[in-house]
Amino acid sequence: MQDPLIRITERPKPPRPEELTLRFSERAVKELEAILKHYPDRKSAMLPALWIAQREYGGHLTAEALAEVAYRLGRSYAEVEGVATFYTMYNKTPVGKYMLEVCTNLPCMLCGAYRILEYLEQKLGIKLGETTPDGLFTLTEVECLNNCGDAPVMQVGDVYYRRLTPEKIDEIIEYLRTHEEHTVVQLADAEVQLHLSEQERQQIEGTQG
C-alpha cells in the first residue's frame, strides 16, 4: 500500500505574510497577467496559476509557492491549498525530474501493468511512490489515462508511452537519461502555454530579452 503523499503532522506551514518572498519570474508574472484577462475574476485563474507556480518552484508546490499564488490572486492560503491538494496533477512533495505514472486501472492491469510496475521497481531500485537517489525518477500509479486500447500505458511528462513491455521500458529509461525532454517542469510549462493564445505567447516572448 502506497504511503499517503502528506501526513497530517508533515503538512507544510504557510509562511507569515512578512516572510513571503515572491519568486515568480518576470515571464511568469506576464503570463499570469495575460491569463487573468481570460477570466471574470482572479479566483477563476487558480488552476493555471498553480501550473505557473509548479514550474517556477521547480516541479512541486511548496508552502511558499501556495502562499505566492494566494498573494497574486488575492485569495486565502487555505483556499489555494484546498485546490492544490484536491488535484493529483499538482505535486505537494518533492518529485524527481521525471514522473513515471503507470496506469493500473482495469484494462491496463489486465494487460500487465503490475508486471511493468514491478519491472520498473527492480530496474530503478525504488518502490512505488519513491524517487531514485539521483533525483531523476519518481514512480507513481495513476487511474485511467484514456488510452485503454493501447494498454498498458505510462505517462511521462507530456507524453504517453503505450503497449509497454520490459524492452520498451529499457528504451524509455535510456532515452530519458540522455535527453532533456518530458520533465515535470516542462509539463507544467506546457500546461501554462495551453492557457495562452498564440498572440499572447508571442508578446510575452517578445518582451523577454
Interface residue list for ligand FES (CB under 6 A): 103, 105, 107-108, 144-148, 151, 153
Query: Which residue, 56 or 101, has its beta carbon nearer to ligand FES?
Result: 101
Q: DSSP alpha helices (H): ranges in the chain?
A: 26-36, 46-56, 63-73, 77-86, 106-110, 113-124, 166-178, 184-194, 198-207
Determine the Cα–Cα distance for residues 69 and 29; give it in Å rounded to an integer: 11
Write down the least CB distance from residue 147 to ligand FES, Å.
4
Q: What is the DSSP-derived secondary structure letter of residue 128? A: T
Write down the least CB distance from residue 13 to ligand FES, Å.
37
DSSP annotation string for 147-197: -GGG-S-EEETTEEE-S--HHHHHHHHHHHHH---S-HHHHHHHHHHHTS-
Write down the least CB distance from residue 155 to ligand FES, Å.
9
Q: Compute φ and ψ for 14, nearest 5 degrees.
A: -70, 145
Query: Which residue, 116 or 126, has its beta carbon nearer to ligand FES?
Result: 116
The strand pair at 154-156 and 98-103 is best described as: antiparallel
The contacts of residue 71 (CB under 8 Å, 6+ apart) are: 20, 22
Write down the least CB distance from residue 12 to ligand FES, Å.
32
Query: Which residue, 76 or 146, has its beta carbon nearer to ligand FES?
Result: 146
Write down the least CB distance from residue 144 to ligand FES, Å.
4
Query: Which residue, 107 or 129, has its beta carbon nearer to ligand FES?
Result: 107
Write down the least CB distance from residue 161 to ligand FES, Å.
11
Q: Which amino acid is at 23?
A: R
CB neighbourhood size of 36 (10 A):
16
